[in-house]
Amino acid sequence: MNIWLNFLIDSLAFGVTFMYGSTGEIITEKAGHLNLGIPGIMCMGGAGGCLVLNMIGASGLPGFLIVILGILGAVLMAMLCGAIYTFMTVTLRANQNVTGLALTTFGVGLMKVIMSKLDYAVYLVGPKALYRWPFAGQTNALQYLGILFFLGIAIAIVASIVLFRTKKGLHLRAVGENPGTADAAGVNVTQYKYAATIIGSGIAGLGGFYYIIDYMASQEAYLSLEAFGWLSIALVIFALWRPHMTILGSLVFGFLFSCSSFIANIEGINVTMAAKPLMKMLPYAVTILVLIISSVRNKRENQPPMSLGLPYFREER
C-alpha cells in the first residue's frame, strides 16, 4: 500500500480513540456539564472491557459473543463512573470541575490497579483478532479498521443526527443552553442531564477499550491512555460541539500527533529531534486557535453551550 495512504488510515484509526471520547463529552456538554472526568472514565471503560475479556477470553465462547460482552463490559463500567459524576453534580449539586478532576484521579488510579492484575495472554492475545475483524492479520494500517473503528464512526454520525435532527436532541440542547427555560417549557431537566451524561460516559469508555484492545494492542497500552482523554476534551472544541465533526477532527489530531514519528521515516525530509515536541504540541495549539477564533467571531452556533459548567437548581432561579 502507498505509504501516505497507510499513514492516513493509521492516523484515522488512532484518532478513533478520541473520537469516542469527544463524542461522549459533546453529548455531556450539550447537557451543560463540563465533565473533566472523561480521562478517568475512558480509562475505566478500558479496564471494564478488559476485565470481562479476562474472564471469558479463554472460555471458548463463540467469537461474536466475546466481542459483544467485552463492549458491554466497557460501556457499563464507564456508565457506572459517569453515574457517580452525575449523581454528585446533579443530585448533590457539587462543583463540576472538582468532581470531574476527582473522578479522573480515581478512575486512572483504579484502572492501573485493575489492569496490573489481569492476564495479558487471556484478555488481549485471543480477543484482539476478533475485534479486528474483517481485517485481522493484515500487516498495514488496515488491521486497525475493526468492529470498534466502524462502531465509533457510526456513533459519531448517529449522535449528530439525534442532537440536531430530533426532538429529544432539541430538548437536550435547550437544557444545556438555558435549563431554566427548558424547565419552564416542561422538559425534565434532571432526567436529561442524567441520561446525557451517563450515555456520553458509556461512549467515551469505548474509546479507552478500543485503544487498549485494538489500536495499541499491547500490555503497556493502558499506561499512556490518560493523555488521550485530555486530548478528547480538546477535540470537542475543535469540532465546535458537533459529533460528526469529530471524525474529521480526530483525523487531523491523529495526523498531527503521529506525524512527528512518521515524517522522520521518510527519505528526503529532515526533521530535527527538536521539532518533534513542537509537532506534538500542534493539536493543543490548534485547539486554542479554534477557541479564540470562534469566540472572536462570536457566531452563536459555534459557542460552547451557554450554561456549560454552571449548576442548575430549580429553587434558585
Partner 1 sequence: MSEIKKNTVREPLFHLAKRSSIHPAAAWGIRLAAVVIGFILCGAAAFAMIEKLQQNPGKIVDFYESFIKGINTSNKSFLENRKLWAFFKETAILLCISLAVTPAFKMRFWNTGAEGQTLMGVLGAIGVAFYLKDSVPGWALLLLMLVGALVCGAVWAVIPALFKAKWNTNETLFTLMMNYVATFLVSYFLVIWVPSGSSSLGKLDIQKLPVIPVSKTSSINDSFLITLIVLILTGLLFVYLKYSKQGYEISVVGESVRTAQYSGINVKKVIIRTMLVSGLLCGVAGYLIGAGLDQSVTTESVGGQGFTAIMVSWLAKFNPLVMILTSALITVLGAGAEQITKTFNVRGALPDVFVGIILFCIIGSEFFINYQIIFRKKAVDGEKEAVK
Report how far apart, in Å, the C-alpha atoms of 84 and of each of 201, 204, 313 are: 11, 15, 19
DSSP 119: -
**Binding of residue 311 to partner 1 (CB under 8 A):** no
Q: Please report how many Cα atoms fall inside a 13 Å half-sphere around the Cα of residue 89, on the Cβ side.
A: 31
The conformation of residue 120, written as its DSSP 8-state character, comes to H
298: left (phi over 0), alpha (psi -120 to 50) or beta: left
> Grid coordinates representing 208?
479507552
In the set 55, 69, 83, 112, which binds partner 1 (CB under 8 A)?
A: 112
Residue 295 CB, shortest distance to partner 1, in Å, is: 4
Q: Which stretch binds partner 1 (CB under 8 A): 11-19, 112-120, 130-138, 154-162?
A: 112-120
Map residues 28-47 to x or -, x wherever contact with partner 1 holds by CB under 8 A.
------x-x-----------
Does the protein bind partner 1 through residue 280 (CB under 8 A)?
A: yes
Is residue 291 a contact residue for partner 1 (CB under 8 A)? yes
| Of residues 310, 316, 317, 313, the one with CA closest to residue 32 | 310
Find the binding residues for partner 1 in span 76-105 (CB under 8 A). 84, 88, 92-95, 97-99, 101-105
Report the chain's C-alpha Rg in angstroms.
20
Environment class of 62 (CB within 10 Å of its CB; exposed 0-12, middle 13-18, buried 19+): exposed
Q: Which of 233, 235, 247, 252 binds partner 1 (CB under 8 A)?
A: 233
> Is 270 near partner 1 (CB under 8 A)?
no
State how far the Cα of 245 lies from the Cα of 164, in Å rounded to an integer. 13
Among residues 69, 106, 129, 151, the one that binds partner 1 under rule CB under 8 A: 106
Question: Which range touches partner 1 (CB under 8 A), out of 52-60, 132-140, 242-250, 292-300?
Answer: 292-300
Shortest Cβ distance from residue 188 to partner 1 (Å)? 8
- 285 binding partner 1? (CB under 8 A): yes
| Rounded least distance, CB 113 to partner 1, Å | 4
Determine, following the binding rule CB under 8 A, whether residue 314 of this chain makes contact with partner 1. Answer: yes
C-alpha cell recorded at residue 118: 489481569
Candidate residues 296, 300, 301, 317; the one interacting with partner 1 per rule CB under 8 A: 296
Q: What angle do CA 245, 29, 234 make, to 5 degrees?
A: 55
Q: What nine digits make up the cell of 13?
A: 484509526
Which residues have C-beta within 8 Å of that of residue 61, sequence separation ≥ 6? 69
Q: Which residues bind partner 1 (CB under 8 A)?
A: 34, 36, 84, 88, 92-95, 97-99, 101-110, 112-113, 116, 188, 190, 230, 233-234, 237, 273-274, 276-278, 280-281, 284-285, 287-288, 291-292, 295-296, 298, 304, 308-309, 314-316
